[in-house]
Structure 1
Amino acid sequence: MRNNKSSKQYISFRYYTAFLVISHILVFIIICSMTSCSDFVEVDPPKNTLVSETVFEDAATVESALANIYYNMREQGIVSYDICADMGIYADELDYYASNANDLSLYLHSVTAINSNVLSYWTNAYSLIYAANDIIEGVNKSKALNADEISLYKGQALFIRAYLHFILTNIYGDIPFITSTDYVTNNTISRTPIQDVYDFIIEDLNLAVILLDSKVLTDERVKPNRATVNALLSRVYLYTENWELAEVTSSLLVDEFELESDLSKVFLKESKETIWQFKPDASNVRNTYEANSFIIQVIPGNPYALSNVLLHSFETDDLRLEQWVGRFSSANGLTTLYFPYKYKALLNEEESLEYSIVFRLAEQYLIRAEARAQLGNIIGSQSDLNTIRNRAGLEGTTAASKDAVLEAILHERFVELFSEQGHRWFDLKRTGKAGIILGSVKPNWNPTNVLWPIPESELELNLNLFPQNSGY
């Protein structure tokens, strides 16, 4: 969790490999029993001490191991609330008012290879990738699990591996694509070119689609299923400019799910448009870190506030400005700050009202709108774009040409997906607009900032990770 980041010590990539290959499943299970994770995953952690091989002889322990991956994804690192805040200040969504040196360097675009955020994202992601790989290897060798169980657990682990590599490559560029727990090999592995990383991601996801049942695994959509895999797959096709498959895959989800007509219900735990979300553990954490960290309750005090760039991007009468943006004024009335107010329930409230949403249907409409515009289907693109605009109380778009519609979609993604999973930064980066837009609001902007540096400590341990990203 963000507030504890500065006090954490991050183990290097190399040490993770040697450690995790032997014991990470056991460690996850122990952590689970210590942190009330059983409430989060709805699976009781095993009471006895197990070695890795034994884990894969029992379905309940495999479920516990998978659930603890989700737990750790939710708690910190590259898929957690941290990425919402870090990418928000790295882009033009959020202003930063605190003094943490590592966070401040993100906001000011003065990141170096020794920044602890840069290292923590890398090590956190690869530790979870190793855990996912161990599950894939373990269930493949298991003699006790039945075919349905093997498909279910392997499908989830493949999705996890694909998702983490997807975010890693969008932050660092060329990265090692890790598919085993062989620490001898992985300690000297080289970086995989981005296009090859995407090919491996798509391969994992296509296999996961086959393995995972189309039914929702829980009523609360807290475990990935086929729809979750397709949600990521459509995003990957968008990022790789495979417009045909982006349209086809997003259409599957548009047909399967339903948008919430009421904006006030979009981020509730029972939202109809949620595809996948992280469930709180219901004992220490009843709602979301997003609400607890973004909602301003005192000035000075909160490190984040919405930027004027974002605030001025909302059109008149946009209901999202009313429903999803909060405001707080100082006691003397001289300062008023605005904050993301999509999640409204604080951690310590008595009831779990909101879960942290990772994928939701609105993104799929915007993916399909962009794919259709790129394919020359302007009317279809306008229809999808207007579905999102009309829900926000706005009239249909006036954009008519391909370029105008694409610009309108980028704008709509800004005001619809702000403070969610780093969408704004990744949109600016993938569309080539980062320099155009951030160059005027980030004094230290440099074109090489489109990638973060590879952590210096990892380069020292594995020379095959060289060369360092340009600009660092």
Structure 2
Amino acid sequence: MKKYVVILLAIWGIGCNKLIDVGDPDNSVIGKNVFSHDTSALSAMSGVYSKIMVSFPNILNGGLSISAGLSADEILPGSPTNTMQEFYTNSISITSSFNRVYLWYYGYGLIYQTNAIIEGITNSKSISADVGNQLLGESYFIRSLIYFQMIQLFGDVPFVTSTNYEANAKLKRTSTSVIFSQIKQDLVKATGLLKETYPSSRRVRVNKWAAKALLAKLYLYEGDWVDAESASSQVINAGSYELEHDLNRVFLLDSKEAILQFMPTESGYNTSEGAQYVPSLTGTSLPQYEISDYLLSVFETGDKRQVNWIGRKKVNGTTYTFPYKYKLRVNFSSTYTVSEYTMVLRLAEQYLVRAEARAHLNDLDGAIADIDSIRNRAGLPLIATTNPGIDYNDLLIAIQKERQVELFTEWGNRWFDLKRNKTATSVLVTRKPSWKDTDTLYPIPDTEIKLNGNLTQNPGYN
């Protein structure tokens, strides 16, 4: 683990604000003096957000939208020479650089930074209670968010909760059930530490409702329907959020639907997704990634999401489609402006979480009301009108379909849904010629196994 923290420090150039002190004999990644007063401690957390929003896709900045979108059935590479082809064919190499650097290394690098902040705040006698609680809550949230993604991608992974290089370098893989339990505990702590108001002018830092929204998602994945319904209801009823009626406003920086967004920090960029997905709308350049025929076929006639969230470009008589939730690509000209933030959590997902939980709790009317909130915005007929007597099984199918067309290319939701519902093989075996049951997990990077003899590889990888 020490090796990849050093690699990440080199990649990031984390010398800014003197937050990183690699030479400390106690192996701390952030110098002790940072936690001697509120201002520098707040700068340390700002540094974490900045490292998330670098210009290249990573585990918290568009990397999942691309890799998991390819692994499922949402998108495909626009060219056979695209280096992400291995994710689309579900044949990821154990030496894959994207898998190793931007998912695994980057995830653990951010975890290391949050651990340093947790240790620093906990051991400090100089930080005010309000600032300390906020930074602890944010750190628990970000660490939980990363671990949630990591276990979806890799299964059991080393569970790192300290900045001790030597101990971390020898860690074995921890079972997903243990990690799930710990991140739930951390998120519960975060909801108690954080305030309902945002500590930023926009919704770009974690508040209580962001932690509660992620907690609702965890409960859903665990099949804890009662707590999933309760947590999502608290967010929905908070009074702070509302569905945007105009679909083209959902992913803007002032979206009323946003529960948490990450703010771009590099000139020329709005979002990593926009930079990767949106081609030049003039000329003959093709999209890097196209919408799959499978996803296109799921949309009902008249669905406004198909019109507004899928882009189209005609080149030499052929029309190519691409994800278009984010509209702005890279722009280094003098006309560069920021109007889109990366959406982390939004209200529509909470309605879908609650709909699924309610269906499992046999509150079919409540579930129908929630799914119809989303369908109404999309301009589609309401289930309460067209099929008010829908049965339990058909309603669950309808909810999964609604998740597919509402949350496509967002945070790997489709890939994760296929896996948690145990339908990945039955769905993808007909769409991916080389599909194997073991493809539901990504490989542990080979370099990590060579460095740490306690690590084992996932089945299906040599």
TM-score by length of 1: 0.88
Indicate yes or no: 2:275 matched with 1:292: yes
Change in 2 beyond 3 A, CA 1:219/1:30: closer
CA distance in 1, matches of 2:134, 2:51: 20
Is the contact made by 1:172 and 1:451 (CA closer than 8 Å) also made in structure 2?
yes
Question: 1:407 and 2:401 equivalent?
Answer: no
In the alignment, structure 1 residue 247 sits paired with structure 2 residue 229 = yes
Is the 8 Å Cα contact of residues 69 and 128 (structure 1) preserved in structure 2? yes
Moved more, 358-367 or 256-265: 256-265
2:123 counterpart of 1:141 = yes
Alpha-carbon deviation of 1:71? 1.9
- Aligned match for 1:277, one of 261, 280, 283: 261
Per-residue deviation, residues 260-287 of structure 1 (Å, max 9, x unmatched)? 1221211111110101111122x61352
Letter in 2 for 1:262: D
How has the CA–CA distance of structure 1 residues 431 and 299 changed in structure 2, closer, same or farther, with 3 Å as cutoff?
farther
Alignment of 1:393-404 (within 5 A): 393-397=379-383, 398=387, 400-404=390-394
Q: Structure 2: where are the runs of 5+ without partners?
A: 20-28
Match of 2:297 among 296, 299, 312: 312
Q: Measure, in 2, the Cα distance between the counterparts of 1:233 and 1:32.
A: 34
The alignment yields a C-alpha RMSD, in angstroms, of 2.1
User: In structure 2, how many angstroms separate the alpha carbons of the residues matched to 1:440 and 1:181?
Assistant: 45
Deviations 1:155-191 (A, max 9, x none): 1111111111110011000111111111111111111
1:61 aligns with 2:49: no
Task: Name the counterpart of 1:338.
Answer: 321
Which amino acid letter does the alignment assign opposite residue 257 of structure 2? E
Where does residue 182 of structure 1 map in the other structure? 164
| Residue pair 1:29, 1:65 contacting (<8 A) in 2 also | no
Aligned partners of 1:274, 1:291: CA distance in 2, in Å?
17
Q: Tell me how far 1:66 sits from its aligned partner.
A: 1.2
| Aligned 8 A contact 1:32 1:68 in 2 | no
What residue number does 1:40 align with? none
Q: Cα distance, 1:16 vs. partner?
A: 3.6
Alignment of 1:193-212 (within 5 A): 193-212=175-194
Question: Do structure 1's residue 170 and structure 2's residue 152 form an aligned pair?
Answer: yes
> Relative to structure 1, is the Cα distance of residues 415 and 161 closer, same or farther in structure 2, using a 3 angstrom cutoff?
same
Does the Cα contact within 8 Å between 2:242 and 2:256 map onto a contact in 1?
yes
**Residues 103-139 of structure 1: CA deviation (Å, up to 9, x unaligned):** 1111111112111122121111001101000000001
Q: Does 1:454 align with 2:434?
A: no
How many Å separate the matches in 2 of 1:152 and 1:119? 31
Q: Is the 8 A contact 2:38 2:128 kept in 1?
A: no
- The Cα of 1:201 is off from its aligned counterpart by 0.6
1:52-451 equivalences under 5 Å are 52-75=31-54, 76-100=57-81, 102-120=83-101, 121-256=103-238, 257-281=241-265, 284-297=267-280, 298-330=283-315, 332-333=316-317, 335-348=318-331, 349-397=335-383, 398=387, 400-451=390-441
Q: Who is 1:47 aligned against?
A: none
- State the partner residue of 1:9: none
Aligned partners of 2:72 and 2:414 also within 8 Å? yes
Q: Aligned-pair distance for 1:346?
A: 3.0
Displacement, 1:341?
1.3
Equivalent residues of 1:113, 1:456 under 8 A apart:
yes
Task: Give deviations 1:337-377, integer Å, cap 9, x for gaps.
Answer: 01111111333243211111111000000000000111111
Structure 1 runs, 4 residues or longer, greater than 4 Å off: 17-20, 99-102
Q: Give the total of aligned pairs.
A: 437
1:471 equivalent in alignment to 2:453: no
Would the aligned equivalents of 2:62 and 2:411 in 1 still touch at CA under 8 Å? yes
Is the contact between residue 29 and residue 64 of structure 1 (CA under 8 Å) also seen in structure 2?
Answer: no
Instruction: Describe the shift of the 1:51–1:293 C-alpha distance in structure 2 as closer, same or farther (beyond 3 A).
Output: closer
| Structure 1 stretches lacking a partner, 5+ long | 1-12, 34-49
Shift of the 307–102 alpha-carbon distance from structure 1 to 2, 3 Å rule, reads: same
Superposition deviation, residue 14 in structure 1: 3.3
TM-score (normalizing by structure 2): 0.90
Change (3 A) 1:461 1:102: farther
How much has 1:58 moved relative to structure 2?
2.3
